[in-house]
Amino acid sequence: MAKLLVVDDEANIRLLYSQELSDEGYQVVTAGSALEAVEKLESESFDLAVIDIKLKNESGIELLQRIVKERHTIPVILCTAFSCYKDDFSAWLADGYVVKSSDLQELKDEIARVLAKRQRGAYV
């Protein structure tokens, strides 16, 4: 069972993600801030992280950069209400990019795609 880390500053959205992704058969751990996410990344191992770009006063892209810099070899999917970040060069570090929507299908597809890629050995 793949283990996902979901980072979003809104409790309701964390709840929605947990619910829906658990239904898909993933093990879901959530974090409400970048700090919490880093702590969890250091203590547990994950197969994939879903990160909101806008985290209260922090930036999801900075968190992404930190993950890449600290050599956590996990794929990251960025998730946001803004579509314009798609062309922020730092966002290109992410393995996937999903615009927030009440229809979580796109996110689910993206997770499946990235995990499949990982399984093929891209992140070992």
Partner 1 sequence: MDWECCWSREQIEPENCPYIGEGEEDLLVFQRRRIVEKCVECPRFKNDLARMKGSGYPLSDVLPYILTEFQEQKTQMGAMLSFLNSKTREIKFLREVGLVLQTSLDLDEVLSIAMTAITAGKGFGMNRAFLLMTDKDRRHIRGYLGVGPKDYEEAWRTWEDISRSNFTLRQLARDFQKTKLTSEKVKFHDILNQLTVPLSDQGHIFNRALTGKKPILVENALNNPDLDRGLARILGVDTFLVMPLISRNRRIGVIIADNCITHKPITLQDMQSLETFAFPVAFALERASLYERLQEEVAKQKAANVKLREQQELIVKMEKMALVGKITSSIAHSIRNPLMVIGGFARTLLKGTPDGDDKRGYLESIVRETRQLEDVLSEVLDYSESLFPVTDFWDLNELVGKAMGELEGTLEQAGVHCRLELAPELPMVRIDYKQISYCLKTITTQALAAMDPGGELRIESVLDGDGVLLRISDDGKPLTQTAQEALIAPFFQTQELGEGVGLSLCKSILERQGNSLTIFSRPGGGNTYSIRLLTRKENI
Q: Distance from CA of residue 7 to its chain's centroid?
A: 6
Binding test (CB under 8 A) with partner 1, winner from 69, 71, 84, 121:
84
User: Taking the CA of residue 122 as centre, how many other CA atoms within 13 Å lie in the half-sphere pointing to its CB?
Assistant: 14
| Stretch 6-65 residues interacting with partner 1 (CB under 8 A) | 10, 12-13, 16, 19-20, 23, 54
Residue by residue, DSSP assigns 3-42 as: EEEEE-S-HHHHHHHHHHHHHTT-EEEEESSHHHHHHHHH
Contact predicate 26/4, CB 8 Å: yes
- CB under 8 A: which stretch of 24-32, 41-49, 76-84, 114-122 binds partner 1? 76-84
φ, ψ of residue 57 to 5 degrees: the values are -95, 0
Binding test (CB under 8 A) with partner 1, winner from 38, 68, 93, 99:
99
Number of residues that bind partner 1 (CB under 8 A): 20
Give yes or no for residue 103 binding partner 1 (CB under 8 A): yes
Question: Which residues of the chain form contacts with partner 1 (CB under 8 A)?
Answer: 10, 12-13, 16, 19-20, 23, 54, 81-84, 86-87, 99-104
